[in-house]
Structure 1
Amino acid sequence: MSKIIPPFTRASATAKVLLAQNLWNTKDPAKVALAYTPDSIWRNRATFVKGRPAIAKFLESKWQKEHGYVLKKELFAHDDNRIAVQFWYEWNDKKDLSGQWYRAHGLEHWTFDNDGLMQERRSSINDMPLRSAADRWFVDGKIERGPDPDPEV
């Protein structure tokens, strides 16, 4: 597959989002960090990170805490060198997956350089505890269902 670079069309932005989803689902911090410029700037919730080494360290820590992690991303909007995505992922707070399951909902705003590497990632994320295993969307690493309308609405 050829490199996906700006300016983005709807098709190329959608492909970039799927590529990012698949990359993050590897849970390989070093591999994921290579999708970002060496001086990339992140905001992830209230954490600010700059540069590939810091990104890899952040992701390593994230996936040591978030067990059973499975992510789904969807294109929200795009422009010449920017993409916005909505995403959902589930994780468990225990390594043996016997703990509390959570679903994270969020939006990300991405800005890319001319080579298609992400220069900036700004992410807003909310975690929602799941009431039971029946509420899970992602099972055995696969997207079984969802996203649904919020049950509280």
Structure 2
Amino acid sequence: MPAFNRNPLSCGKTIGQKTYLHVDCIDLLPYDQQSRIATAQQLADVQKETHFNVIRLDLDGPGIALLAYSNFFEDPFPALKESWLVDLDQKSVRHRNYAESSNPPILHRKELLLPQEHPRREEYAALTAAAKSRWNTRSTRRIS
């Protein structure tokens, strides 16, 4: 099971040395992180909200993933549609499309990716709680 660390940023969900956050959090980040994201967008030739809605920051390395989750706000547990993995040191980009995947990655606990004051954060937290409750009655594994 992944280890959740204390998030060194003001927004997002940190697992290990990677922090996942919704694009609504960009303006809440320190300038250096905002700059890294802007550079990644330029290298990948993509725009927030148009092409991606979630960012994964590698806190101990040069990597940033720009992730497009289908229907982020409408789907309780959205599937990953596309990703751009950007290495800022190498100035390289790897694109992956999950549209044809029979088992794309699914986003859990999306409320943690949003700013604290987001109007739908509590709604998504309730969905997570309901899913965890249902899952815990069926399995000994946890939703992370």
- From the two aligned structures, give the one with the greater helix fraction: 2
- From the two aligned structures, give the one with the greater strand fraction: 1
The TM-score, its normalising length taken from structure 2, stands at: 0.31
Relative contact order, CA 8 A, sep 6+: which one is greater?
Answer: 1
